[in-house]
Amino acid sequence: MNLSKSFLILGALYLLVGLSFGIYMGAAQEFDLAPVHAHINLLGFTLMTLFGIVYRIIPGLADTMLAKVHFWLFQIGAFLLLVLLFALLSHMGPEATLGPLMGVVEVVVLLSIVAFLINLWQRA
């Protein structure tokens, strides 16, 4: 698996989703889900693109178990965080349930960043 390419392609897909969602919100004049739009663009596009560039300019960084842990934890965490945020803001479930689930998923995203930082610290 080419981590750089995977991050870059997924980042571009999130950009497409984020921009499409933003266009929909603007056309409908419905901005209650603006935080979801912002998180799609930040977690999905910006961070994934940044990770893809880092793995591209420091190629040995991508050939580690920490890089794979980073990739998969971030993919799972970011996706679930976006789904849960959408569900929370759309009132699709009780806040008492969705809030704690979001906390768990945020820890998954945080652990992915810790894996990235350790890998970067050891090999950059």
Q: What is the mean pLDDT of residues 20-43?
A: 96
Residue 101 has pLDDT above 90, yes or no: yes
Q: What is the pTM (predicted TM-score) of this model?
A: 0.94
Q: What is the mean pLDDT of residues 28-55?
A: 97
6's tokens: 């995977």
Give the residue extent of every domain in the chain: 3-123
Question: What is the rounded distance in angstroms from the CA atom of residue 14 to the CA atom of residue 90?
Answer: 20
pLDDT at 17: 98
Residue 124 has pLDDT above 90, yes or no: no
Residue 1 binned pLDDT confidence (cut-offs 50, 70, 90): confident
Helix (H) or strand (E) holding 111: helix 95-123
Give me the amino acid identity at 97. T
% of residues, the chain, pLDDT over 90: 98
